[in-house]
């Protein structure tokens, strides 16, 4: 295993975690439409209890995504989290609100009332995907930061901090870029689409299923429009490339289009992913009895996001470009951990299939019997 | 070096420290109960599982099986209320390394990131997957699978504690790494040294056993509330038996592992030990301070006072604790500041000398990077590298402007250490007493009850009985009062561990004012206030729900 291989391998692992995270945002998506999808108080409880059995997986994937990014590309961790402070803080804030909302909302002694926590779930359901999607968009659109490793020791440096944001907004400036918002809202509507598909599959309730097959149109149509718009924009825009020999970063016209052509396997992955997502949505809309759309759409989401994330970093591409100073842009090469650490972590990552296997087994064991109103009323741990 | 670090706002450092401390303190309110209750409810569900098997063999009746099922579910319900807050506060901690300690994240991320990633991959998924089975799987999976899920939830939480304490221990005692001047960071050279650092092993054992104490104190305290109210007596008594046994074993182990932890501190963080003991001037045959007046609100004048006022110590005990030798040498704050030589001839430089060497390391590094960027040859770079490597051990001291900056705040360390140790001793005695009273040990129980009656702590009419349900009310109140005291002891332990290593984020390598992110103080102050409001509100909600749930009891 060469150092270069390990860098690409860890980029793959982090991208896979990111792709799984986007899929698991169905929890947020379903929560954001719980009011209309559930319609009645009992219906809403069904939705919350359905996502309530999975929220910890989404949360854990987010935490592991952060941890894996830290271990493999610490300069990204240092630059993005320390620089885009407000963007990440708002994301974290809404996830904290979500984490307690399930357990607290319907318990006796909840002094804030159930509606407060339902509002938190809705807030996280919209803001979480929006800002996470926006953060992903910055991998292509760039961010306003500067990296200078000598700052810690250079006499007279502007700041002793190695990486810093070049403006005072600390990450919120990204939301002024319309293309960041386009991808952000695409993720919001994707999460809603997946959320509706998941609830339709997980809850055995005629009302919710029939309502879901209608509501999904309102989520899927804007998603498809925004996603297609962003992909077209991406393929036509200039990208951030680097010379692997010198490490010099430069703008390359149609860089991401070139990436997709040169890494044809990613294009195939992307196309399969898109077809699966459209199949899952389409069949759910046109078929009366089909409730398994979450599986093709979920797998398709993972493949699509994985292809896009790898397109942002592989093939000598700067995956976290700087709009303030081109040469500060982060590449796999200049931001990764040492070869020793990446190799050590490679062996740890071999545990991942085992982890996936027991998650799948536990998921299957719990979901063998779909959630019903009867079960909800008899379950002492129901939220 | 004169202009270095002038642009770091002191407010940013203070607010960042405050925010991290706030998150860690809140996080540590919920995690010990998760770890402790996980063990207790695991034992309870094992009882349920065994009784079920016995019922199937016709050796017990249905009521016994139902009792253990109800009892297990009751404690799992309380576990669930607490668990979510631990998860919520934990995510903030992980990301705050990046958001608030940006330089830190790069400077040591090559080593520090690995345990965090392993924690996520190995522990968090285990915890989050099986906790869902534990909550919702009672009627969906087999009894064996459910029991395994309950234990795996606890195991996941414990493995998580292992890796985060490996990371924390590395900050206190950085091993298995080497500085790379080209990448401008420390890089891991031995994973085993990091993962199995003796400091980490001691820290883990001490922390996990202290968390079990919290679980036990909580279990016994809640049970005593039922006995006070004369409700759910069977569940209360059986829970007390389990809780007290876990508590006694845990508190004895916590004392033993605490001793080992203190020896580790003496070896690698002598300044922390000196602060914990308010030991201004050390030497051989040093006594352990039992009582002294250290003003809790201001740093003592350690440079001019010979020792803390009204000091009463246990002769030789500190020397013995630190070195396993009653005549061993223990340096005080002034010895460390001014340099000292141990009886075996080891010379420790003064802080001023360390500052000088640290500056040489920083200047050599700056010159090296400048020369390298200009394409200098090996002949130019080599002496710079030699200077850097010779002084690298004291790199962090190069950022210290005055030697007193390396002295942690003595009052917090001194009092927090005493509160932790004092309450730890109380727990050993208390759990031993509860075990004697609940387990009906031949001769011992009767003797103890008569002794308690003789000194007026038990009515004489109860001296020869075995009933734990008929003790005077204050016994139960004592157990309830011990719940907050358990938390105070636990948090005190953290205060000692974290305040004692100030000003270092990484011992001797990186002080807080170099580790911080480039943020303005106002931003961090705002997020601090937001988190303070959020965490405090959620804590209030949690306590309210927990109390209502306890009041409601095990019924649905």
3-state SS of B321-369 is HHHCCCCCEECCHHHHHHCEECCCCCEECCHHHHHHHHHHHHHHHHHHH
Residue A79 in contact with partner chain B when CB distance is under 8 A: yes
Contact between A164 and B518 using a beta-carbon 8 Å cutoff:
yes
**Of chain A residues 319-338, which have a CB less than 8 A from chain B?**
337-338
Q: Residues 6 or more apart from B513 whose CB is under 8 A from it?
A: B5, B8, B10, B13, B399, B503
**B515: closest CA of chain A, how far (Å):** 8
Contact between B91 and A62 using a beta-carbon 8 Å cutoff:
yes
Contact between A85 and B103 using a beta-carbon 8 Å cutoff:
no
- The answer to whether A19 touches A115, Cβ cutoff 8 Å, is no
d(CA A142, CA B75): 50
User: Within a domain: residue A376?
Assistant: no
Q: How many domains does chain A have?
A: 1
Which residues in chain A are closer than 8 Å to B132, comparing Cβ atoms? 53-54, 56, 362, 366
- The answer to whether A13 touches A68, Cβ cutoff 8 Å, is yes
d(CA B236, CA B224): 7
What secondary structure letter does DSSP report for A176? G
| Residues A90-137: tens digit of each pLDDT | 999 999 999 999 989 988 899 999 999 999 999 999 999 999 999 999
Lowest-pLDDT range, A150-164, A241-255, B486-500?
A: A150-164
Cα nearest neighbour of A158 on chain B: B7
B85, B114, B530 member nearest A344 (Cβ): B114
A70, A111, A160 member nearest B5 (Cβ): A160
**A36: closest CA of chain B, how far (Å):** 26
User: Within a domain: residue A334?
Assistant: yes
Q: Give me the phi and psi of B62, to 5 degrees please.
A: -65, -35
User: Within a domain: residue A374?
Assistant: no
Contact between A85 and B519 using a beta-carbon 8 Å cutoff:
yes
> Over chain A, what is the mean pLDDT?
93
User: Within a domain: residue A160?
Assistant: yes
User: Within a domain: residue A301?
Assistant: yes
- The answer to whether B83 touches B34, Cβ cutoff 8 Å, is yes
**Of chain A residues 228-247, which have a CB less than 8 A from chain B?**
none
Contact between A160 and B4 using a beta-carbon 8 Å cutoff:
yes
What average pLDDT does this structure show over A367-373?
Answer: 86
A109, A337, A359 member nearest B113 (Cβ): A337
Contact between A102 and B84 using a beta-carbon 8 Å cutoff:
yes
**Of chain A residues 284-313, which have a CB less than 8 A from chain B?**
none
Q: Which domain holds residue A212?
A: 3-340
Largest CA distance in chain A: 71
Cα nearest neighbour of B121 on chain A: A64
d(CA A224, CA A244): 36
| Residues A167-212: tens digit of each pLDDT | 888 989 999 999 999 999 999 999 999 999 999 999 999 999 999 9
Q: Please, which residues bridge with residue A250 across strands?
A: A241
Nearest-CA neighbor of A93 among B523, B522, B412, B534? B534
Only one residue has tokens 């009463």, namely B312
What average pLDDT does this structure show over A230-240?
Answer: 96
Say whether pLDDT at A269 is over 90: yes
Contact between B187 and A340 using a beta-carbon 8 Å cutoff:
yes
* pLDDT value for B4: 54
Q: Residues 6 or more apart from B377 whose CB is under 8 A from it?
A: none
Residue A372 in contact with partner chain B when CB distance is under 8 A: no
Contact between B552 and A108 using a beta-carbon 8 Å cutoff:
yes
Which residues in chain B are closer than 8 Å to A79, comparing Cβ atoms? 102
**B416: closest CA of chain A, how far (Å):** 30
Which residues in chain B are closer than 8 Å to A96, comparing Cβ atoms? 88-89, 91-92, 534
| Residues A46-77: tens digit of each pLDDT | 999 999 999 999 999 999 999 999 999 999 99
**A110: closest CA of chain B, how far (Å):** 6
What secondary structure letter does DSSP report for A330? B
Contact between B5 and A56 using a beta-carbon 8 Å cutoff:
no
**B365: closest CA of chain A, how far (Å):** 7
Residue A154 confidence class, pLDDT cut points 50, 70, 90:
confident
d(CA B499, CA B501): 6
Q: Residues 6 or more apart from B474 whose CB is under 8 A from it?
A: none
Q: How many beta-carbon pairs below 8 A join chains A and B?
A: 301
Q: Which two tokens stand for residue A219?
A: 């989520």
Contact between A155 and B84 using a beta-carbon 8 Å cutoff:
no
d(CA B522, CA A85): 12
d(CA B335, CA A265): 65
From first to last of its 556 residues, chain B has per-residue pLDDT tens of 445 555 678 889 999 999 999 999 999 999 999 999 999 999 999 999 999 999 999 999 999 999 999 999 999 999 999 998 998 898 898 899 999 999 999 999 999 999 999 999 999 999 999 999 999 899 889 999 999 999 999 999 999 999 999 999 999 999 999 999 999 999 999 999 999 999 999 999 999 999 999 999 999 999 999 999 999 999 999 999 999 999 999 999 999 999 999 999 999 999 999 999 999 999 999 999 998 999 999 999 999 999 999 999 999 999 999 998 999 999 999 999 999 998 888 899 999 999 999 999 999 999 999 999 999 999 999 999 999 999 999 999 999 999 999 999 999 999 999 999 999 999 999 999 999 988 888 889 999 999 999 998 888 888 887 788 888 899 999 999 999 999 999 999 999 999 999 999 999 999 999 999 999 999 999 999 999 999 999 999 999 999 999 999 998 6
Contact between B110 and A53 using a beta-carbon 8 Å cutoff:
no
User: Within a domain: residue A368?
Assistant: no
Q: What is the ipTM of this complex?
A: 0.92
d(CA B253, CA B216): 14
d(CA A168, CA A164): 10
- The answer to whether B164 touches B116, Cβ cutoff 8 Å, is yes
* pLDDT value for B288: 93
* pLDDT value for B5: 53
CA atoms in the 13 A half-sphere facing the CB of A28: 32
B122, B128, B534 member nearest A57 (Cβ): B128
Contact between B110 and A83 using a beta-carbon 8 Å cutoff:
no
Residue A145 in contact with partner chain B when CB distance is under 8 A: no
* pLDDT value for B463: 81
* pLDDT value for B2: 43
**A379: closest CA of chain B, how far (Å):** 8
Contact between B111 and A341 using a beta-carbon 8 Å cutoff:
yes
User: Within a domain: residue A362?
Assistant: no
User: Within a domain: residue A45?
Assistant: yes
Other CB atoms within a 10 A radius of the CB of residue B281 amount to: 16
């Amino acid at each position: 295993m060469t150092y270069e291989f390990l860098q690409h391998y860890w980029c793959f692992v982090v991208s896979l975690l990111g792709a799984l995270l986007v899929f698991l945002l169905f929890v947020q998506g379903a929560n954001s439409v719980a009011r209309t999808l559930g319609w009645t108080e009992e219906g809403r409880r069904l939705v919350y209890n359905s996502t309530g059995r999975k929220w910890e997986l989404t949360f854990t994937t987010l935490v592991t995504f952060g941890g894996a990014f830290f271990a493999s590309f610490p300069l990204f961790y240092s630059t993005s989290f320390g620089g885009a402070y407000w963007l990440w803080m708002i994301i974290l804030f809404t996830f904290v609100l979500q984490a307690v909302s399930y357990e607290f909302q319907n318990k006796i002694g909840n002094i804030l009332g159930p509606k407060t926590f339902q509002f938190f779930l809705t807030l996280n359901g919209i803001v979480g995907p929006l800002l996470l999607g926006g953060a992903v968009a910055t991998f292509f659109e760039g961010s306003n930061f500067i990296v200078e490793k000598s700052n810690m020791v250079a006499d007279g440096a502007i700041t002793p901090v190695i990486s810093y944001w070049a403006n005072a907004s600390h990450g919120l400036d990204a939301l002024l870029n319309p293309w960041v918002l386009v991808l952000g809202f695409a993720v919001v509507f994707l999460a809603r689409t997946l959320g509706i598909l998941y609830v339709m599959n997980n809850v055995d309730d005629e009302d919710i299923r029939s309502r879901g097959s209608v509501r999904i149109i309102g989520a899927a149509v804007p998603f498809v429009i925004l996603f297609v718009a962003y992909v077209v924009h991406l393929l036509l825009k200039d990208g951030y490339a680097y010379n692997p020999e010198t490490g010099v970063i430069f703008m390359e016209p149609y860089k991401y289009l070139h990436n997709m052509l040169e890494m044809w396997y990613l294009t195939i992955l992307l196309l399969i992913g898109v077809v699966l997502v459209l199949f899952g949505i389409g069949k759910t809309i046109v078929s009366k009895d089909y409730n398994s759309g979450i599986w093709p759409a979920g797998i398709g989401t993972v493949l699509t996001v994985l292809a896009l994330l790898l397109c942002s970093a592989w093939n000598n591409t700067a995956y976290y470009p700087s709009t303030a100073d081109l040469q500060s842009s982060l590449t796999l090469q200049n931001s990764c951990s040492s070869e020793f650490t990446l190799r050590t972590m490679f062996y740890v990552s071999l545990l991942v299939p085992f982890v996936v296997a027991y998650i799948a087994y536990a998921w299957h064991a719990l979901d063998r019997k779909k959630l019903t109103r009867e079960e909800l009323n008899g379950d002492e741990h129901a939220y | 070096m004169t202009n270095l670090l002038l642009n770091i706002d002191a407010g940013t450092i203070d607010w960042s420290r405050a925010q991290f401390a706030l998150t860690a303190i809140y996080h540590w309110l919920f995690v010990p109960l998760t770890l402790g209750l996980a063990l207790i409810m695991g034992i309870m569900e094992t009882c349920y599982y065994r009784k079920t098997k016995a019922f199937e063999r016709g050796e017990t009746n249905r009521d016994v099986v139902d009792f253990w099922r109800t009892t297990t579910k009751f404690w799992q319900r309380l576990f669930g209320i607490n668990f979510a807050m631990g998860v919520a506060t934990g995510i903030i901690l992980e990301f705050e390394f990046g958001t608030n300690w940006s330089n830190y994240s790069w400077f040591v991320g090559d080593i520090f990131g690995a345990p965090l990633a392993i924690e996520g991959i190995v522990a968090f998924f285990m915890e989050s997957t099986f906790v869902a089975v534990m909550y919702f799987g009672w009627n969906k999976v087999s009894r064996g699978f459910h029991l395994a899920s309950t234990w795996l939830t606890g195991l996941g939480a414990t493995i998580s504690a292992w890796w985060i304490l490996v990371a924390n221990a590395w900050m206190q005692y950085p091993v298995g790494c080497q500085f790379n001047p080209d990448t401008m960071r420390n890089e891991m050279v031995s994973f085993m040294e990091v993962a199995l650092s003796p400091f980490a092993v001691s820290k883990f054992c001490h922390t996990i056993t202290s968390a079990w104490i919290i679980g036990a104190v909580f279990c016994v305290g809640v049970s005593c509330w039922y006995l006070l109210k004369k409700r759910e007596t069977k569940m209360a008594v059986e829970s007390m038996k389990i809780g007290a046994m876990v508590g006694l074993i845990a508190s004895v182990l916590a004392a033993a592992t605490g001793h080992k932890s203190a020896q580790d501190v003496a070896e690698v963080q002598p300044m922390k030990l000196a602060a914990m003991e308010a030991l201004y001037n050390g030497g051989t045959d040093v006594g352990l301070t039992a009582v002294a007046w250290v003003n809790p609100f201001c740093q003592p004048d350690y440079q001019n006072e010979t020792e803390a006022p009204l000091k009463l110590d246990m002769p030789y005990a500190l020397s013995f604790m630190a070195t396993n030798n009653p005549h061993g040498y223990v340096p005080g704050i002034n010895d460390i500041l001014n340099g000292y030589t141990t009886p075996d001839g080891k010379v420790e430089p003064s802080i001023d000398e360390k500052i000088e060497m640290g500056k040489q390391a920083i200047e050599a590094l700056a010159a090296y990077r400048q020369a390298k960027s200009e394409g200098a040859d090996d002949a130019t770079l080599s002496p710079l590298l030699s200077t850097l490597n010779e002084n690298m051990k004291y790199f962090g001291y190069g950022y210290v402007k005055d030697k007193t900056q390396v002295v942690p705040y003595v009052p917090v360390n001194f009092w927090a250490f005493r509160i932790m140790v004092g309450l730890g001793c109380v727990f050993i005695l208390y759990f031993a007493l509860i075990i004697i009273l609940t387990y009906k040990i031949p001769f011992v129980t009767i003797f103890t009850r008569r002794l308690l009656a003789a000194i007026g702590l038990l009515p004489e009419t109860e001296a020869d009985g075995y009933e734990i349900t008929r003790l005077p009310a204050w016994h139960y109140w004592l157990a309830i009062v011990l719940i907050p005291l358990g938390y105070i002891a636990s948090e005190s332990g953290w205060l000692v561990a974290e305040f004692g290593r100030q000003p270092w984020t990484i011992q001797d390598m990186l002080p807080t004012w170099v580790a911080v992110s480039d943020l303005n103080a106002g931003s961090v102050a705002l997020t601090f206030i937001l988190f303070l409001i959020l965490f405090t509100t959620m804590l209030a909600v949690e306590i309210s729900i927990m109390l209502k749930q306890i009041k409601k009891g095990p019924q649905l």
